[in-house]
Structure 1
Amino acid sequence: MTAATTMDPTDAYPGYLACLADADEYAAIDVALGLLDAGVPPERVLLDLVAPAQAEVGERWARNEWSVAQEHAATHISERVVAAVAAHANPRPTGGRIVVACMDGEWHALPPRLVAEVLRLRGWQVTFLGASVPAAHLVSYLHRHDAQAVALACALPMRLPHAHRMIEACRRSDVPVVVGGRGFGADGRWAARLGAAWAPNAPAAAELIADERALRRVPAAQLGHLADDEYASLVRRRGELIDSALTDLRERVPATREYTAAQLDSTVSDLGHIVDSLAASLYVDDASLFTEFVGWLVEILTSRGVPASAVALTLEHYAAVLRDFPRASDAVARSRAGLPATPRSGG
């Protein structure tokens, strides 16, 4: 494949996506560098070529069109492309230090890497800490280095309780925070609930960071509902809930008793995600977080041959064992409304 000669990243997009599909790292880099040589600004190459291609990579994995291995290979290539674009641009910092990191337990590092490079292109001195940075380590770094702001990324809503702890840890270090990523909701509504400044994209993050007064002028977190102890109680019962749901599935779906070790691990992981997403919905007091997660999980599983009834059975089980959790019960009931009825157990 030859390097792009167009000056429009959208025209180069199909060829770039084909490079990712073919796992052709060198051709992908040639496409990006060809755009730069044609006069396309580096920021446009990152945001109009690499970012949408990575979103499509995620969609192809979700539709079970690409394996995990293919998704990882494509992501690695895009990371190499970002590095090549950054090396080609090689800007010199004129502003203060900005620290960019993923939340603890968050492994989707490419989107915040794009934010970091956009900030760098706009003159900031950027330190990118990468995926899954523990809060204590982030705070230690901030104490050693004088940062003007921290940009934190979260792709999974189930990580919001951890995100809040990291946000508060940064604030105690007197460093303002801007957050982004799908984990805070498409409109940033869960960022507002946590009392954090939210940016929908890299340019918006750059503009917000440039206005320190706006970055610090954020309403307080709205978490008074945590006084009812539902969230804390659910988290304490996490292991018990996963075990009881697995036992229930084995009793009601005999085929699960013959699962391989890999199938069993995947099932336990999915059950854990269900509990964690329910806990996160309690943390921000928004049942839509859980219903959206359930809808997404059903799409993922059905694309892999697992019927929606498997999720419906688990939610039916949780509806029974969480009767004394009014907010959790409401979220479970709402999510069950869009699923097929579960079959009656024999007896």
Structure 2
Amino acid sequence: MVQVYTEHLCRRHYSPFISDAVLFRIFLLFTNIALSLILPVATGAFWKRVKFVHEQPLVRYTEDALLLFEGAMPGQERIWSSSQAVNEQFSDFFIPASIQAYEEDVNFDGKPDAIRFNAKVQGTSPVFGVKALLQFHYEISDDVILKFFGLAYAAHTSALPGGELYLDGELELRQLTPITDKKFNGEFDTPILDSSQSEVAEAVRGSEVLQFESIVKSYLSRNYSTTFIDRYPVWKPGAGNSFMLDWNLRIPTHQMITVRPQVIEMLKFAWIQFLATFIAIWFFFHWLQIFVFRYRIFDTRAVSDVQPKTQRF
């Protein structure tokens, strides 16, 4: 013989609606619900308040830049800007520069993996320090919708006059607070360096008499911005008649973004935590009920499925 099906026989316990046995069952139910809420909240895993998204941003160089070459003494600074208004206002300190910039797309996915910037100046006094600002348009449009104009700032000084400065690092996203998921974030989608403007105040926003300190301070006070992580600067000494800035900016292929999930996603995650805890506690309460009713701790009328029912006339 082969067993093909199994039926479980039950012993049913009956009790009046208002009795200790009914109150015990109600107490277990509400205790189970309460513990299923309290335990996930107490362990800090009930609400998914933030999540981390890894995406590759689309970064484009806007051809806006501001370069400052510092000499040995104050007053020997030389400046170059992509803005004609800035160059005209600081004509006494202006120096011509040969600029080259291009993008590198290694995996041919349409998103630059690196941006190379090269600036060369001739006939300048010995350069002992460099400050540079480049502007980019930063865009993410997958799980997070984010568009803004960002800056890359680099500064380096040396006790020896230089002939070349090589910078190589990553352009990373900087956040103060999480970004709302699936919501368009275009609050800062306005150029900071705008070469098309004829006024210096409009060509370089957030600046006080064109000070790098005020530009950086205003820029970093935003909720999200970009930061250039300069890991390995290389300063090459030179004679002082020419100087070259060779700047390689790498775009992270998996930029980590802190996101505030939507309410429906938070409820979905909370429901999973509640249900998992509820089942685990209910399994324990199930064995508690078996013990209580099997040993007749409460008065109940037990009816077995094995015993035949008596006929009443």
TM over 0.5: no
Which is higher, the Rg of structure 1 or of structure 2?
A: 2
Q: TM-score, normalised by structure 1?
A: 0.20
| Structure possessing the higher relative contact order (Cα contacts under 8 Å, 6 or more residues apart) | 2
Whichever structure has more strand as a proportion of its residues is 2
Q: TM-score, normalised by structure 2?
A: 0.22
Whichever structure has more helix as a proportion of its residues is 1
